Structures are given as structure tokens and as C-alpha cells.
Structure 1
Amino acid sequence: MNSEELYAGYFGLDERPFTLVPDPSFLFWSGQHKRAHSILEFGIMSRAPITLITGEIGSGKTTLLQNLLKQLDDTVNVGLISNAQGGRGELLQWVLNALSVPVDPSASYVTMFQKFQDFMIEEYAAGRRVVLIIDEAQNLSTEGLEELRMLTNINSNKDELIQLILVGQPELKGMVLNPNMRQLAQRVAASFHLNGMDEETVGKYIAHRLKVAGGTGEEFSDEAVAKIHEATCGIPRLVNQLCEFSMLYAWGEEVKQVNAGIVEDVLNDGVFFGGLSLKEDPSSDCLFLSQRYRADATEEKN
């Protein structure tokens, strides 16, 4: 059996359903993901100066962006920046590069800003809108966020010449709501925060991926789903990781349906590092941390 098959053949699947590589064929839209996508669409169509999307690592933010980009036509010029850092001027250089505007790295800030402004006006005159997406925006400094806000001050009559979509982890929302960032917050016209899926949705998510892979959707018991939800807080990427290990364990034990005991074994063996990261991350906004993690934290304090 090759590495691609692993447990798939044992369960009668055509492929592994819980790999971490994004695959459009496995796309599952929960209610909140549909709402978040609607907010993104609204932000674009309404020419919102700033649209804010936040959520835990692995909550599906990148999937939302990928689907949004597929829907935009040639009238929208999109620039995408990931993990941008740097001081004044460096961020503007990131912006120009993302929009494919040639720039001399040694140029002064004033020169770069003038080039940026001229480009915005040219695009507007040609009937095109400019959308700048900043992924992992929580890594920006306060000064960086303020510099981005100032870019939205460029307008023509009633129209925004550039729209920003800020995407990041939960702390980004706190950064924007900081009293010192009041002017930035006032420019956020659309926002959505992705929470983890509830237990019912986790069950539907698991069944959906199993069926796409050629299964029945009943390869996990209800008790196993409950345990998975508890341990992952309903974060899609973590659900995938824990389901993958659970099916691997079930294959090894020659069990045809993953039960709560198997999920418990995976957790006890400490191979599910994603769940441990929830325990160790005090900034996590997960409201469903398992009793295991709460108990561990109490023991560590004692």
C-alpha cells in the first residue's frame, strides 16, 4: 500500500478525505462561512473603504479569499499581500509591488506615494477598481495599519479609489478597536469574525468530506464527532488533523467506524499537536476548550 492510500482502501474510500492541502472539490460551506463570504461580497460591491475578516488559524479565511478572487472580473485590479512587515515607506513598497506598479526601491516616500496616487487615478479613469487584500494583517504594526488607512484617503468625488480587505487572526480585531486606532475603525464598513463550527456543523463537515472521498459519511460515530468537536473547538484545519489521525488509528486496530475511544487514544498519545496549541495559546477565542485541557492547565498550576 502506497503512502497516498494509507487507510483509504480499508474504509472503501477513493482518497484521503482529511488532508491539509486545500482542495476545491472538498469545499464545505458552513452557515457562518456563507455569511462571511456575503460580507466580503458586500464590501467589494458597496465600495467599502475597509472590510475586516478575522478568525483563528485554520478557520477558513484563505478559502474565503480564494473563492472571492475567482468571482472578480477584469474591472477589479487586485493586489494581495501576505505577512507584510516594515516601517514607513516599506509597506507602501509592498503595496506597489502587489499592484505590479514598477518602483525604484531607493525612491523617497513622497515619490512612491505620488506614483501610487497616479496609478489609482489612472485605474479609476479606466473604469477599474483597486482592491488591496492584506492577509495575516495582525503582523502589521500600529504604524503600518495607520499608513494603510491613509491610503484610503485618496478619493474622487464620492468614490473610493482603493478598497482594503484586512484578514487576520483574532488579535487583529483588537488592534483595530484600540482607542488609538479610532480613525481606522471608523473606515471599517464591513466586518465578520469566524468562530469555530458548532458540534452539529462539525458532524456535517466530516460527513461531507467522507462522501466526497467515496465514503458513506458514517465512518465516525456521533460520540466520536462530539469528542472531535470538543478537542478542536470546531476549527476546520484542526478537525482535519484529528480526523486523519483517528482514521489512521482505526485502520491499525481494524475497526470500521471511528468511535470516541479511538479519538481518546489519539488525544492521550499526544500526536495531535493542533489541540495542544489551543491549550497553550491564551489569545485563542475558542469557547469549547475540552475538559482535558482545562484539567491539564489546573494540574500545571498546582
Structure 2
Amino acid sequence: MNNNFYYSNAILLNSGRNALRYIIKVFEIKKLFVPAYTCVEVIESIKLEGCTLEYYNLNEQLLPTISFQSNEYILYTNYFGICGNNVTKLNEIYPNLIVDNSQAFYFTSKSLAAFYSPRKFFGLPDGGILFCQKELDETLDEDHSHERCSHLLIRWDEGAENGYPYFKSNDESLKKQPIKSMSKLTKALMSNINYQKIKYKRIDNYKILDKYLRNSNELIFDLSENDVPMVYPYFIKNNKIRDKLIQNRIYVAKYWPDIEKLHPLNSYEKHLQNYLLPLPIDQRYNEQDMKIILEVIFG
């Protein structure tokens, strides 16, 4: 493995959702406690393994509102890449904690297991990374990724908007994939990423936004030393700001709008779903871009 490959000592798989399936299989988990505020793909992955789900809700610190027995398996999401301190707290209490670091590529912890979806941070067609205290006693087939690269190539040539339909198609194709090892192509792409440069660019962009938005943000977190945010989560009960950002071609996702069709959310989670603005801070952007976002918000 190239020395530049981040997490070269991990189990390398073809997707983050399949990393979760791997965990369920290797520990033979029959019931898993899952946050109600999560993505549908997580729920689907768990069901594929015949595992029973039990949902728990979150409080305003994005921590579980209930306690668990020490022998129970708990999935916790490292939301937005800023909940490292929460993960540390939960690790101290629950030996069977599984951490979903799909939004927190750089975060490491000593949990029972932790999995990552690197394509959420970098221009990759697929891939999953897993740290796990057990390994399956079987040889996995190797995946192939060349047919999942169209959205990345179109994005370079024609911009993100034109690439988005192909991204959705690629995302849909990953749902049908069995658990496989990471492809040679994805490994090669990951071996050529400047991880440190990207890390500090994201942190710098986050801090610029936080300096000006912190006082009006209802979701305040102090980053741990291990935290590198995926987005700046601006939580303000004002839908006009979302409209202004979109009108100015600043994309702000709405996380997991379909999840309430599967199970109820509490009032705080509903507010997060409706009002949270995940402002972009990734490595494509610089200080000037952050100033433009701020001008739109305050304009």
C-alpha cells in the first residue's frame, strides 16, 4: 500500500454501508440501537443483514436521550464531523459502541468498531473503511469502480450541477452491491490525496464561518483535537436563509428528509431536519468563498 494512503491498516471495503453490514455479520448482532435521526441507507443496510432495529432519539447536544445496557450494541453517528467529544463520552460508558464516521473521515476512536465513507470527503467513486476488533473468516471478492466515475469526470468538465444526476445514479448502484473489498482504482485515487492540506483547509473554513455565525447558531460545538468537519452545521429557524443561499447557487443539502416515513422523530430532530443548513466548507473553497456565504446570509 502507498505510504500516503490514510488508514492503511484498516479493513478496506467497497462502501461505508457495507462496512456496517460487515460489523453486523462479524459480531452476529441480532439487535442494534440506531439514532432516529440518520440516513435511510443505514436503515436499509441493517435490515439486509436481518438485524432488528431499535431507535433512540437525540437531545440538543446530539447525545442519546436514553441509556443502554452494557451488553447492547449501539450505533452512534459522528454528526457533521464535530461530535468527537460525544463519541469519547459514549466510549467510556458503552463497550459495544459502533461509530458511524461517514461524516467524520479524520476522527479516530477506540470503539468496538468504526466505519467511514471517504467519498463524502474526497472525489471518489466508492469505498468504505472499517476499524473492527474482529474480522470475517472469509475472502471477499474485489470490487471494480471504473463504471462509477462518470459523475466525477462530468463535474470536472461541466460543473457540479451537470454531474449531480450521475452522482445520484452512482449512489443508487451502490445499494445493490454485496460486501466486497475496495477496488484497485479507489485505492489508487486515495493514495494520491493530500490529506493534511485538505484537513486544514476544512478547519480554516469552518472557523471563519463560526466566528461570524456562532452567536446566532443554535447548534454550538467546540471541536476536539480529532475533529475535522464535513460541513458547517448552521442551525437557525429561518427558511428564508436557505432560499437565499440556493438563489445564489450555494448548495445546502437537507439531510435525510425521507427518514420520517420509516419512524417518528422528536421535536428537536424535526427542527434539525427542517432548519439545519449544512454550509459547504470543503477543500474546493477558500476564505473569499466563506465571505461570500456570509454576505448572502447577512445580506
TM bucket (normalised to shorter chain) is: 0.3 to 0.5
User: Bigger relative contact order, structure 1 or 2, given CA contacts below 8 A and separation 6+?
Assistant: 1
Larger fraction in helix: 1
Higher Rg of the two aligned structures? 1
TM-score normalised over the length of structure 1:
0.34
TM-score normalised over the length of structure 2:
0.34
